[in-house]
């Protein structure tokens, strides 16, 4: 309890800069929780889906389609599977173009909010620096022509500058680790989707008995 009280006192010491810093911290935490849920819910894929390169026994229902049917409807691999579902009339070049369009949409959806997290990484230290400048200016204003006027006010201004800087760095570091993790997770997801699409393309080329269609 004493630690929490001390933390609140330190936040109050930081001055008005703590309000935008607190807002950035709340935004960062909200984005992190949201993206963590999205990646956990819609980026999961069974291992056998990536390894499967065989069509079903009847030649129409692929084995990977049965595995994907157990996932959420908006799962990234379910969305990527739509251009590759059995449809004899669809040419391969059209399937490839459709899969590229789906992949671009998935990347946009999965990266939603990451730009704001990246902005927080830059903005939080700058706000902390602003708090440092304001606190130091407050301290210097207390020096009069006859020397030091208010020692307590000077130390309060220095404390304000230090607290603002510390909180800004903490928010920035927290957001930076989260941004890097989700960026790496998104890159890995896009690589897996590309591998999945390439496997489906190879299946169809093998089933049609040629090296691919020409436009």
| 213 domain residue, yes or no | no
Total residues belonging to the chain: 215
> What pLDDT sits at residue 149?
53
Give the total number of structural domains in the chain: 1
Structure confidence at residue 180 (pLDDT): 96
Q: pLDDT tens for residues 51-107?
A: 554 444 444 445 666 666 666 667 788 788 777 776 667 788 788 888 889 899 999
| Domain contains 160 | yes
pLDDT of residue 183: 95
- Alpha-carbon Rg for the chain in angstroms: 27
Any domain includes 185: yes
Is pLDDT above 50 for 211?
Answer: no
Does 214 map to a domain? no
pLDDT for residue 212 is more than 50: no
Residues 22-46 pLDDT 10s: 899 999 999 999 999 999 888 876 6
This prediction has a pTM of 0.74
- Which structure tokens are listed for 4? 């929490």
142 and 150 Cβ atoms separated by less than 8 Å: yes
Looking at the domain assignment, is residue 215 inside a domain?
no
> What is the tens place of the pLDDT at every residue in 144-200?
545 555 555 545 556 666 778 888 899 999 999 999 999 999 999 998 888 888 877
Q: Is 86 part of a structural domain of the chain?
A: yes
Q: What is the DSSP string of 22-90?
A: HHHHHHHHHHHHHHHHHHHHHS---HHHHH-----TTSSS-HHHHHHTTS-TT-HHHHHHGGGS--TTS
**pLDDT score for 69:** 61
- pLDDT of amino acid 85: 72
Higher pLDDT, residue 189 or 7: 189
| Domain of residue 199, residue span | 2-208
Give the per-residue pLDDT at 35.
Answer: 94
Which pLDDT score, from 0 to 100, does residue 111 have?
92
């Amino acid at each position: 309890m004493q630690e929490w009280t001390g933390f609140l006192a330190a936040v109050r010491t930081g001055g008005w800069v703590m309000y935008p810093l607190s807002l950035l911290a709340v935004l960062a935490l909200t984005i992190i929780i949201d993206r963590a849920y999205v990646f956990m819910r819609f980026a999961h894929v069974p291992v056998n889906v990536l390894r499967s390169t065989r069509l079903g026994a009847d030649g129409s229902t692929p084995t990977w389609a049965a595995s994907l049917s157990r996932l959420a409807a908006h799962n990234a691999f379910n969305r990527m599977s739509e251009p590759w579902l059995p449809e004899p009339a669809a040419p391969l070049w059209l399937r490839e173009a459709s899969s590229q369009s789906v992949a671009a949409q998935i990347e946009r959806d999965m990266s939603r909010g990451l730009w704001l997290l990246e902005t927080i990484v830059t903005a939080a230290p700058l706000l902390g620096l602003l708090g440092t400048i304001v606190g130091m200016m407050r301290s210097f204003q207390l020096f009069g022509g006859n020397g030091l006027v208010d020692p307590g006010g000077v130390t309060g201004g220095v404390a304000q500058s230090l607290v603002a800087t510390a909180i800004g760095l903490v928010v920035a570091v927290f957001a930076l680790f989260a941004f890097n993790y989700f960026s790496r997770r998104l890159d890995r997801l896009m690589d897996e989707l590309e591998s999945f699409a390439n496997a489906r393309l190879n299946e169809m080329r093998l089933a049609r008995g040629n090296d691919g269609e020409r436009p």
